[in-house]
Amino acid sequence: MQGVGFRWFVLQAARRYGLDGDVANLPDGRVEVRARGADEQLDELHAALTGGPPGSQVDAVDAFALDEEQDFHGFEIRY
């Protein structure tokens, strides 16, 4: 979902959990989050995304393994 500050919500959550990666709005209205970190922190982010920020409606959160070639330094919003 877009338009409710979801990317900023993800950015803050990912940084709080010490994850590296990025978040971006996709043309079809979905939001893509790519994150790398310890399993426990990734689980925390997944739980946060499932709930979403106030005013949001999260229909689904799908998780996939990242390609090992991804090289992230910190967490940022991808435009």
Domains in the chain and their CATH numbers? Answer: 6-77 (3.30.70.100)
Q: Kindly tell me if the per-residue pLDDT of 47 is higher than 60.
A: yes
Q: How confident is the model at residue 56 (pLDDT cuts 50, 70, 90)?
A: confident
Q: How confident is the model at residue 3 (pLDDT cuts 50, 70, 90)?
A: low
DSSP labels, 22-59: EEEE-TTS-EEEEEES-HHHHHHHHHHHHH-STT----
Segment 48-75 shows an average pLDDT of 89
User: Is 16 annotated as catalytic?
Assistant: no
Q: Is 13 helix (H, G, I), strand (E, B) or coil?
A: helix
Of 7, 30, 34, 36, the catalytic one is: 7
Of 15, 16, 25, 78, the catalytic one is: 25
Q: Kindly tell me if the per-residue pLDDT of 8 is higher than 50.
A: yes
Average pLDDT taken over every residue of the chain = 91
